[in-house]
Amino acid sequence: MRIRAALPALAGTVALTATAFLATPAQAAGGVTIYHVWFDSPGKDDRSNKSLNAEWVQIRNNGSSAVALKGWILKDTSNHKYTFPNVKIGAHKLIKVHTGRGTNTATDLYQNRRAYVWNNTGDTATLTKPNGAKVSSCSWTRRDGSDKYC
Ligand SMILES: [Ca+2]
């Protein structure tokens, strides 16, 4: 009788733990966060491809397993959106999303824009899942200089 009574209590504990885990978006996403943003390219903002690519957002996977990023969105406060292609970010790996044009690799992705996205005077980069659920964000102001670690 004692064992039968103990079982439902144990099942209840397990269910609660699972719910708490799923309720934390960062954990559900494998711990992907916006790690570092270089919002003010070095030198003059001359709109050259080199300068555009010196503006970037770096994301990091703090989790112990790879995360598929396909369809995830990176956006600014003006709602300029970048949709991730079919790529995965490995465990403890970094990926930079550059503003300008280039060929995507495992570590560097390109928005293929001809204008800057991240405002030098202050902005917020937000990373969401395809359904719009927020995964991470990073804000900065002019006081941060040219880049910000979040
Ligand atoms: Ca900028």
Distance separating alpha carbons of residues 29 and 34, to the nearest angstrom: 12
pLDDT at 6 over 90: no
**How much is the mean pLDDT over the chain?**
87
Task: Tell how far the Cα of 99 is from the centroid of ligand 1, in angstroms.
Answer: 9
Task: Tell how far the Cα of 60 is from the centroid of ligand 1, in angstroms.
Answer: 21
Chain segment 51-84, per-residue pLDDT in tens: 999 999 999 999 999 999 999 999 999 999 999 9
Q: Supply the pLDDT for residue 18.
A: 41
Distances (CA, A) of 118 to 46, 75, 122: 15, 9, 8
CB atoms within 10 A of CB 140: 23
